[in-house]
Amino acid sequence: MMFIRNKKRALAEWQSSRRGFSLVETIIYLVLLMMLLVAIINFLLFMSKSWASIRVDKGIAYTASTALERMTREIKDADRVDTSRSIFNDTHGKLTLDVYTTGGATTSLAFFLNGTTLVMQNASGTTPLALSTTPIQNLTFEHIVTPQSEGVEIAIQLESDYMGRSRTEFFYATAIVRNSYQN
């Protein structure tokens, strides 16, 4: 009988030690869990905003470097600026260059905005020079003529917007036409 009594007592002590969580402990755990979730959500929002800013910056930098590099290279390789077919000092300017081919023939090359996309037009057709996700708002050409040379100053305004992050930047470049040097 003693064995059964000790067994019942041990069972009662074991059950009383497994009482569970109190209401205060449960509330504390819930508060800690909520604080952790708020911190994780804030971190994810911060990372999303950072990624959007990086994407906007990357689009602007790529478009600016590609467009300006191509235009300055073609200006440097051109034989002269066709002022009669170019539009200077206007926010939607057009630059037309005369380029002599290896056979001695003259061909034209033009840069202008088609909507908000920079395009290059030559004898084989029209080619976009910028990302469609990064619109060019303004494209201005200024014809520079000195007694020794002829050149073009380029100014472009790029605007990019992604996930509520928008940015506008201005870029400038100047190039001298190859055959305009005077000794």
Summarised one tens digit per residue, pLDDT across range 10-53 is: 766 666 666 667 888 889 999 999 999 999 999 999 998 888 88
Q: Which helix (H) or strand (E) holds 141?
A: strand 136-145
Q: How confident is the model at residue 173 (pLDDT cuts 50, 70, 90)?
A: very high
What's the domain count of the chain?
1
Q: Is the pLDDT of residue 141 over 60?
A: yes
- Is 78 inside a domain boundary? yes
Q: How confident is the model at residue 155 (pLDDT cuts 50, 70, 90)?
A: very high
> Residue 13 carries which DSSP code?
H
- Is 77 inside a domain boundary? yes
pLDDT of 14: 63
Long-range contacts of 29-35 (CB under 8 A, 24+ apart): none
- Is 23 inside a domain boundary? no
Q: Name, in order, each residue with C-beta under 8 angstroms of 145's C-beta and a sequence gap of 6 or more.
A: none
- Is 95 inside a domain boundary? yes
- Is 80 inside a domain boundary? yes
pLDDT of 2: 53
pLDDT of 82: 93
Residues 71-118 pLDDT 10s: 999 999 888 899 999 999 999 999 999 988 777 788 899 999 998 889
The model carries a pTM of 0.73
- Is 73 inside a domain boundary? yes
Q: How confident is the model at residue 4 (pLDDT cuts 50, 70, 90)?
A: low
Domain membership of residue 90 as a residue range: 38-180
- Is 22 inside a domain boundary? no
- Is 112 inside a domain boundary? yes
Identify the CA nearest to 57 among candidates 172, 166, 170, 171: 166
> Residue 36 carries which DSSP code?
H
